[in-house]
Structure 1
């Protein structure tokens, strides 16, 4: 039996998102991914054969600063090392990751890519392609650099920590509909990474690509902002014309019938209501 671990990776530092969530205090929205990762882990069906581990993540928010083009750079370096140390000590065959912002996929996916000798395809189910670079000087959130990091196209120190690089010809974007900047769309074209917009994202199209890719293992990143906001708002992003929940479920289940999914991440949950409830209870004298 293959060894599967569940990795709770509540990294929030990669996001610069408080201005998009005015209903919450900046410190609460900024760290909202921390609570989101914990909730995803709690809500997931339990499996006694899976070992659950957690990456230690700092909650210090006093001195956020951009270094080397990346917000909270030193924290991200430290937590990247923490995550990799957990994986090296436990040597899993499969990893289910609960995030946190999108960059939580970087360590597990590059770890598994090395473990399987570059025989892994990466399917990135997301409204955004996450191929920003630190030198773009437009947005310093590391979560927007997650695919760039998986490819090794990021800060030199981070790249030196990661165990492998995933080739562009083994990456597919699914549900992509918001490039945010023209340079990102152009970069995707330069990398020759294909994508299926939500209306094109069928199991048939994706499996056809997988067969052409010819990798035996699959890594799947599921950013909740890929979902249609009229059906559910579970993330920060609310780009219209997204995918339906049942469409994403079908795609992932159909992939599992064809290929061995060794890495799966669900990320970017922003639990607005739960944060409000938490603050409400903190204001009650009964709890003090």
Structure 2
């Protein structure tokens, strides 16, 4: 269920570049977007690729579209990660549900000493019961927190605590997600707050941990600057703001993992921000 892209030589830090184009949780278009990222930005970098089914047929099981394929692909990703035993991980996808094996592995490895920064226009906090769409890319964060389908969360050996989580840029939250955030006092930084100053975010991260995982769903961005996303929402972060935030986080903390997710094909137009994200993710190998 996996294959090597290029050869790898490990020295010091054990790093994993993971190409995981899982699309069933959000839509078939995510596969095309992931393949374009691979072709245009990953270049000669060494990645392990998780093979995903290329069949546009996703029946609903257990309240999740494409359930069987998703579970099998998650198992394949978990198998690769456990075998590689990385200290740092850079994941390129694919939908947000590709985060489950990587974040849960790192949280387990670090015994919960990890701050998770969730750059995303959406909450990803639904369960199969609360989700209207039944699309799994709206559920991975809740699964990482230990709630959801029993078969999927079985692989989340050390669930996140809500106190480890900082959400950034959310602009479209379902009512059950809003209630969950309120009930669990999860810290949320609005677009307006981040555009005004990055420093409060840096301070908030510092109160949690020196170790950081950075989740990047590209729909966190303003669609006027980056429209190539599956579920666009208006009034997002400026690309310059996200770039500055990533540099600030990298300069102040130990990034243990990060992701680049939810991209749709753009016709191969070049993006400075995407190049920066890939370079930062690849550079985790030297941390």
The structure 1 residue matched to 2:157, chosen from 163, 178, 187, is: 163
- Please say if residues 130 and 176 of structure 2, whose CA atoms lie closer than 8 Å, have aligned partners that are also in contact: no
Relative to structure 1, is the Cα distance of residues 246 and 47 closer, same or farther in structure 2, using a 3 angstrom cutoff?
Answer: farther
CA deviation map 1:47-74 (0-9, x unaligned): 76xx410111111223x21111111111
The structure 2 residue matched to 1:191, chosen from 184, 193, 207, is: 184
Residue matched to 1:9: 20
- Please say if residues 96 and 261 of structure 2, whose CA atoms lie closer than 8 Å, have aligned partners that are also in contact: yes
The structure 1 residue matched to 2:102, chosen from 98, 101, 108, is: 108
For residues 1-288 of structure 1, the aligned pairs below 5 Å read 1-15=12-26, 30-44=27-41, 51-62=46-57, 64-179=58-173, 181-201=174-194, 202-213=197-208, 215-271=209-265, 273=267
TM-score (norm 2): 0.85
Residue matched to 2:283: none
How many residues align? The count is 255
TM-score (norm 1): 0.84
Relative to structure 1, is the Cα distance of residues 44 and 3 closer, same or farther in structure 2, using a 3 angstrom cutoff?
Answer: farther
Runs (5+) with no aligned partner, structure 2? 1-11, 269-287
Q: Which of 1 and 2 has greater Rg?
A: 1
> Matched residue of 1:261: which SS?
strand
- Please say if residues 236 and 268 of structure 1, whose CA atoms lie closer than 8 Å, have aligned partners that are also in contact: yes
Cα distance, 1:194 vs structure 2 = 1.1
> Matched residue of 1:136: which SS?
coil
CA deviation map 1:165-207 (0-9, x unaligned): 111101011111111x322211211121111111111320111
Q: Which has the higher helix share?
A: 1
Runs (5+) with no aligned partner, structure 1? 16-29, 275-288
Any runs of at least 4 consecutive aligned residues in structure 1 with deviations exceeding 6 A, and if so which? none
Relative to structure 1, is the Cα distance of residues 156 and 129 closer, same or farther in structure 2, using a 3 angstrom cutoff?
Answer: same
